[in-house]
Amino acid sequence: MKQHGENADLTDELSEISDRLDKQQRRALYLKQEFIEAEKILTDKLLDESSEKEKLVKKLTESDSRNHMTPKIFVNKATQTTRNQTLTKESCSQTEKQKTGNENANIAKK
């Protein structure tokens, strides 16, 4: 009888250990599935960000290649504007000199 009681205790203990093991295995499986799902989400986000980054780099590269001459154009326009203003001042002073010269010539003719 003593052995029968020990066997029953061992069977109960084995049953409890088996139940705990099953719970731990189910929990491990659940956590593994959660991890895989989170990994997929993060991978998708990373791929989206990577493709967005590539699009931005491509856009900036295209923009840079199109606008490569822009600073020179602005410099040239600024230089041209300054040169035009200088020419305008010079032509005004030349016009005044011509008027003065014409007036002097008219006075001399009289």
Whether residues 100 and 46 share a domain: the answer is: no
Whether residues 40 and 81 share a domain: the answer is: no
Encode burial over 39-56: b for 16+ CB neighbours within 10 A, e otherwise: eeeeeeeeeeeeeeeeee
6: pLDDT confidence band, cut at 50, 70 and 90? Answer: confident
State how far the alpha carbon of 1 is from the alpha carbons of 6, 16, 89, in Å: 9, 23, 127
Q: Which domain holds residue 38?
A: 1-68
**Domains contained in the chain, number:** 2
Q: pTM for the full model?
A: 0.42
**For residue range 41-84, what is the model confidence (pLDDT) as tens digits?**
999 999 999 999 898 888 888 876 666 555 555 555 555 555 55
Whether residues 77 and 61 share a domain: the answer is: no
Whether residues 51 and 78 share a domain: the answer is: no
Whether residues 64 and 83 share a domain: the answer is: no
Whether residues 86 and 73 share a domain: the answer is: yes
